Amino acid sequence: MKCELCGNEHNVSNFKVEPKEEYVNLCEECKKQIESGKLDENHFQCLNDSMWSEKSAVKVLTYRLLKAFGRSDLIDMMYLEPEEEAWANSEIEIKKDAYGNVLKNGDNVMVIKDLNVKGANNIKRGEVFKNIRLGDTPGHILAKNIYIKTEFIKKV
């Protein structure tokens, strides 16, 4: 299995291209840079090849990376179907905890403040919630069917 961006064959795994349920195969280096947001343009010289992929998820991810690098010259050469372009330009809310750590589905979090819950027991500071879901509500995560504001949690 090869990285669908740079062609590397080592430590390749699936990467979800939000907000759809479509995946691309990425090497550890590409995945690490994309997830951290610390992009090395020299590593991504390969985008001028991946932009011609027939796989929609690869084209969308390539478009987003080219946009991050300000490479309008390459973006102008790309062809995206209207639905691919809408997907590529869709806003993705990156949810972060109170300390700025990026949250993902399945993370474990700890409450950093006592919280009052209407119609249920209060949530005490230090309580840990495992396997959270990000959900669709801006600024909130879903833990045990309770929406909690991200400003009151920290990733553990």
Closest CA to 92 of 33, 53, 134, 47: 134
Structural contact between residues 89 and 66, judged by C-beta atoms closer than 8 angstroms: no
Query: How much is the average pLDDT of 42-57?
Result: 94
- Cβ atoms < 10 Å from Cβ of 135: 13
Encoded tokens for 78: 């790309």
| Residue 29 phi, psi dihedral angles, 5° rounding | -65, -50
Query: How much is the average pLDDT of 120-144?
Result: 89
73 residue type, one letter: D
Place of tokens 């209060």: 122
Band (5; pLDDT cuts 50, 70, 90):
very high
pTM: 0.63
